[in-house]
Amino acid sequence: MHDRIFKDVKEFMEKSCPKLDFKLFIVEKFNDVMTEDLEKIKKIAKEHSDNLAVLGKELSEIQFNYKVVENTTEQYWQNRINEFKKYNEKGTEYYTQAHALMSLVDKEQSGLFLLSISKLHQLGLKLVTNMEEVKQNPSIVKSKDKQQSKWSKDLREKLIESSNQCLRHEMDMNKFFREFYEIHLKNILE
């Protein structure tokens, strides 16, 4: 991006400035400014990257698994809700830090990522709501129960669906960020 701007300014200067010395002076000053900006971006990117690494480590230590377990105790589901809330909160911090890093180099892509963070939050709220309902009637998670009502089966399916949606969305976000990193950030951070 900076190279293109530098080239455009250089071409403009060559066409519009009659004196060569003045042209070279302007191009050199512009180059100095661009170098300073790039150094500032590198420094900020490094800080965001370091914060992202710390948050990623903390997130992995929580070890939340989206798999729905057929446990029929209310206490299990309360613990599961608490674990997910902790995981989701740390995940939101992680993805917000990733967004900040992305916004240094591409506002449009970082804006799309911000929308993904919002969607993940909404999906997380839906999952918590479904887990709260299961907590009130934990026996509905038993898939082998032949006596289950349609309501119980539907609630179990909603829980599984919302859990899978969260997992898939988070996987998509991670893939998006990895690809963005490879294309836009890797060279800056190395």
- Whether 14 shows a pLDDT value over 70: the answer reads no
Q: Is there a domain that residue 27 lies in? A: no
Residue labelled with tokens 């998670």: 141
Report the percent of the chain where pLDDT is more than 70: 78
Q: Is there a domain that residue 90 lies in? A: yes
pLDDT digits (tens, 9 = 90+) for 84-126: 999 999 999 999 999 998 988 889 999 999 999 999 999 999 9
Q: Is there a domain that residue 39 lies in? A: no
Q: Is there a domain that residue 162 lies in? A: yes
Confidence of residue 33 (pLDDT cuts 50, 70, 90): very low
Q: Is there a domain that residue 35 lies in? A: no
Rounded average pLDDT over 50-75: 89
Alpha-carbon distances of 118 from 103, 109, 128, 134, rounded to whole Å: 16, 15, 15, 25
Range of the domain at 179: 44-189
pLDDT digits (tens, 9 = 90+) for 116-163: 999 999 999 999 999 999 999 888 887 776 677 888 888 889 999 999
Q: Is there a domain that residue 177 lies in? A: yes
The pLDDT value recorded for residue 4 is 60
Q: Is there a domain that residue 22 lies in? A: no
Q: How many domains does the chain divide into?
A: 1
The model's pTM is: 0.75
The pLDDT value recorded for residue 18 is 53
Residue predicted with more confidence, 125 or 11: 125
Q: What is the mean pLDDT of the chain?
A: 82
Q: Is there a domain that residue 91 lies in? A: yes
Give the integer Cα–Cα distance in Å for 117 and 163.
16
- Whether 28 shows a pLDDT value over 80: the answer reads no
CATH code of the domain containing 96: 1.20.120
